[in-house]
Amino acid sequence: MQTVSTLHDDRTVSKLGGLGAPARDASGRLLPEIWMQDGAKRVEQALARLLNAEDDGETELMAAMRYATLHGGKRTRALLCLAAGALADTPAHMLDDVGAAIEMMHACTLVHDDLPAMDDDLLRRGLPTVHVKFGEATAILVGDALQAHAFLTLSSLNAPGDNRIALVRELAQAVCAEGAAGGQAIDLSLVGKHVSLDRIVAMHRMKTGALVRASVRMGALCAIAEDPAHAALYCALDRYSACFGLALQVVDDILDATADNATLGKTPGKDAAAQKPTCASIMGLQAARQFALDLLRDAGEAIFPLGPRAERLAQILQRADAHLLKHAPCA
Ligand code: IPE
Ligand code: IPE
Ligand code: MG
Ligand code: MG
Ligand code: MG
């Protein structure tokens, strides 16, 4: 099976170093494309190891779980975890598995989001969605099992019990009824309705922002407890992720209306076709675009006080900014 990892240039990565030995240019600037590529590759290797059915034989369920997790994706949430982890001096080996657990949970939400009872999508990451390829019942079970494997991964980490409990709680909070699951329920309830921007923003913060926030916090929580001594750090990270998480969904809404099939790896125009109110439909494309750019700028300002150790988090914002400007240019 070809994975995204096989698309990376291993020689370039190993020559220039990975998270353990960050690749910098002559003036000492961290090269974003190198650490992101290397980080994504390491998380994908962890996913392949953690979702390995060799002992039991490859069941169709496990094949479908690997299909849902190992074929592409920008790996934004895992990279957020790695970036926050680097900031907190979390050991790299721990981050790989935490990043993999986050990507499993993210894939679970995507597989369920694509189901006929939800968004009824046929294409994801440039491939047939899991229910199209494996059937609806298997897709439901893929989501269930990925969620369980995410928690299994966190609870099996080689880390003190308190750290593991903090990570499990963080991920559970992100996808519970007050997080992604609740946000998805609101999303479905708003189909065909005229709603305020505030309502959409609140929904986006739940369905997408909550897991983004957890991804950042989990990278830091591996090494730094959330205690009064670190209140300023967690406050900056929370402000960053609140802005970035919302921006991520606003950009997704904009690109749904503006980008093509090849860029999205998904069917374009789905939100309008399904009569989903989005930031783009309520504000108009140009205002939504400006809203997203402002949010990305605000996210950068939130981590400015953290100084150079937040460099990777800043580079993730720059990547999102460039992606938006490239695929939704100003009218
Ligand atoms: C898609 O997320 C769904 C949203 C919550 C916006 P991504 O755009 O991060 O999807 P992948 O992981 O890169 O495929
Ligand atoms: C999905 O939002 C958010 C999730 C929690 C999965 P969308 O429904 O807009 O995501 P895409 O466009 O299908 O990736
Ligand atoms: Mg959806
Ligand atoms: Mg969808
Ligand atoms: Mg979308």
pLDDT one-digit tens code per residue, 190-203:
999 999 999 999 99
Average pLDDT, the chain: 91
pLDDT one-digit tens code per residue, 163-176:
999 999 999 999 99
Domain boundaries, the chain: 32-327
Q: Using the atom order of ligand 2, give the atom closest to the CA of residue 253.
A: 9
What is the second-level CATH architecture of the domain 32-327? Orthogonal Bundle (1.10)
Ligand whose nearest atom lies closest to the CA of 110: 2
- Identify the pLDDT of residue 16: 34
Confidence of residue 219 (pLDDT cuts 50, 70, 90): very high
Stated pTM of the model: 0.93
User: What is the C-alpha to C-alpha distance for residues 121 and 117, in angstroms, rounded to an integer?
Assistant: 10
Rounded mean pLDDT, 282-307: 97
- Identify the pLDDT of residue 27: 80
Rounded mean pLDDT, 251-264: 96
pLDDT one-digit tens code per residue, 309-322:
999 999 999 999 99
- Identify the pLDDT of residue 29: 81
Distance between Cα 318 and ligand 1 center (Å): 17
- Identify the pLDDT of residue 21: 53
Distance between Cα 229 and ligand 1 center (Å): 34
Instruction: Please check the confidence at residue 13 and state whether its pLDDT lies above 70.
Output: no
Confidence of residue 66 (pLDDT cuts 50, 70, 90): very high
Pocket probe mutation, ligand 2, options 104, 125, 127, 208, max atoms within 8 Å of Cβ: 208
- Identify the pLDDT of residue 300: 98
Instruction: Please check the confidence at residue 1 and state whether its pLDDT lies above 70.
Output: no
Distance between Cα 271 and ligand 2 center (Å): 10
Instruction: Please check the confidence at residue 7 and state whether its pLDDT lies above 70.
Output: no
pLDDT one-digit tens code per residue, 140-149:
999 999 999 9
Of 20-29, 196-205, 246-255, 297-306, the one with minimum mean pLDDT is 20-29
